Structure 1
Amino acid sequence: MTGKNRPDRRLSYAAATVWTCLCVVAACVLALMSTAFADAATRPTIVLVHGAFADQTSWDGVAADLRHDGYRVLTPVNPLRSPSYDAAAVERTVREISGPVVLVGHSYGGAVITNIHDACVVKLVYIAAFAPAAGEPISFAIDPLQFPGSRLVPPALALKVVPDPTTRIGVNLDGYIEPSQFKEVFAQDVDDATVATMIAHQRSIAAYTNIEPSGPPSWATTPSWYLVSRQDRVIPPAAERFYATRMHAHTREIDSSHASLVAHPAAVADFIAGAAAAS
């Protein structure tokens, strides 16, 4: 009997060992999942605000990288009507978010996030962006007497009358970049095929956005980051450095055109993720 029982005991021992190992593995997996869920719950939502002469698709590469890193990312429509009007539109999206928010603005999108004041916004990130002070229009940064070098001037910059239900008369005067000049002015380091897509997605911006005085800046009370584009032909790099210094931003520079988010999406995503994770 004793000899016959030995295999049974060995099988029982083996089964118990396997069961114990499975329990340990399951516990480890659950612990990792719990940590991952907790990390996701405490991570901020990143809201990417596009600028003029573009739409949400300009953020596609950056958004994909950030989502791969585990961030929730939103790319709301920026109406491109005026800093105050557009800030109100984007802020409606922000107010629907539960938890902390990192606001990111490219180009004119920086003027928009500058005019958003919401308690859930914990950080601001500017990507080759306008960052006006109170009472200051965005035209300040491209004034050739202040900061020479912008190529966003006629004939590259053109005007047209467009339907606009936000005005009393139902139309508005908008600016856009002539397609033949788009690459040279906006995205000289982007390949031709991608530039063609950018041109197809170009959205005009109300001329009034250039002259509307900005409201009190959110960067005065919110930790800010600034990524300067050294080869920018829209906002002169000197103006970007001026903005970054004035707001005491954590600053990095990149060898890029104005369209750094398209030309170098991985580097831009890394900069944003670093800001989001900073304590």
Structure 2
Amino acid sequence: MSFGNVSVVLVHGAWADGSSWSKVINRLRDQGVNAIAAPLPLTSLSDDVTALDRALERIEGPVVLAGHAYAGAVIGSTRSRNIEALVYVAALAPDEGETVSDVFYRGETHPQAPQLTPDRHGLIWLPQEGFAQAFAQHAAPQELAVLTAVQRPISVSCISEAVGRPLWKDRPSWFLIAEQDRMINPGTQNFMAGRMNAHVRSYEADHTPIVTAPDAVTHVIVEAVQSVSAR
């Protein structure tokens, strides 16, 4: 199937890097969809949006922008003109004036969710046991080993900066709800998706379906790409 010149840009969340999207990238390629992963410094929300904008400058033609977890705030804060649709994967979608922290802590915390506290540098690391208990409890041991080894901390500045008018108010959006998420309350995901008027797709997935349920994630992204290419 031809998707024209529509490209997909994938944005990683906290405690991860672009390699977390590798399974999805390969599946999109198999379906003829060009995709790149945008690297974020995770030093502040503003820094991350600037980094995303630099990646988007490299893309010609319409873009479907997908973000996992924290990256939902980043993809909602860009103002790049070539974005035609947004895909939120178990992601955070703060509204205007809200912070990432506001929505992250909105719902009840799962009993197996890790305690998150910044170190003396203002960086938040995920405890090693948090990967198997809450971040990706459905992952294989080899996958958990990689996720743990490549984790990148997120700055407190990323979660404490209020967002402006989010792009999801002006673009169609899709939201993959991870029903077994132990990091972001699924009820909070439903709340955010509802106020976004997003196309909701719900799966029995953990917090990191880009690793543990890549077929489901790919399906939702391709649905958004098909919508853009059909215009």
TM over 0.5: yes
Distance (Å, rounded) in 2 between the aligned partners of 1:83 and 1:250? 25
Q: Say whether 1:147 aligns with 2:107.
A: yes
**Offset at residue 266 of structure 1 (A):** 1.3
Contact 2:7 2:63 in 1 (8 A): yes
Structure 2 runs not aligned, ≥5 long: none
Post-superposition CA distance 1:147-185 (Å, at most 9, x none): 11245442xx34324xxxxxxxxxx41101111232102
The aligned residue for residue 194 of structure 2 is: 245
The aligned residue for residue 28 of structure 1 is: none
Structure 1 residue corresponding to 2:83, chosen from 106, 113, 121: 121
The aligned residue for residue 226 of structure 1 is: 175
Alignment of 1:112-261 (within 5 A): 112-143=74-105, 146-150=106-110, 151-154=112-115, 157-161=116-120, 172-261=121-210
Secondary structure, counterpart of 1:46 in structure 2: strand
Contact 1:84 1:214 in 2 (8 A): no
Secondary structure, counterpart of 1:98 in structure 2: coil
The aligned residue for residue 99 of structure 1 is: 61
Contact 1:65 1:266 in 2 (8 A): yes
Distance (Å, rounded) in 2 between the aligned partners of 1:250 and 1:277? 14
Q: For the pair shown, which has the larger CA radius of gyration, 1 or 2?
A: 1
Post-superposition CA distance 1:43-71 (Å, at most 9, x none): 31100000001111100000100011111
Shift >6 Å, 4+ stretches: none
Q: Say whether 1:266 aligns with 2:225.
A: no
Secondary structure, counterpart of 1:197 in structure 2: helix
Instruction: Say how many residue pairs are matched.
Output: 227
Distance (Å, rounded) in 1 between the aligned partners of 2:129 and 2:188? 26
Structure 1 residues 152, 211: closer, same or farther in 2, change over 3 A? Answer: farther
Structure 2 residue corresponding to 1:79, chosen from 30, 36, 41: 41
Scaled by the length of structure 1, what TM-score is found? 0.78
Structure 1 residue corresponding to 2:52, chosen from 67, 73, 90: 90
The aligned residue for residue 26 of structure 1 is: none
Alignment of 1:30-69 (within 5 A): 39=2, 42-69=4-31
Secondary structure, counterpart of 2:38 in structure 1: coil
State the Cα RMSD in Å: 1.4
Q: Which has the higher contact order (CA 8 A, sep 6+)?
A: 2
Distance (Å, rounded) in 2 between the aligned partners of 1:140 and 1:152? 17
Contact 1:61 1:265 in 2 (8 A): yes
Structure 2 residue corresponding to 1:108, chosen from 62, 70, 78: 70
Distance (Å, rounded) in 2 between the aligned partners of 1:125 and 1:135? 21
Structure 1 runs not aligned, ≥5 long: 1-35, 162-171
Distance (Å, rounded) in 2 between the aligned partners of 1:180 and 1:72? 35
Decide which structure has greater helix share: 1
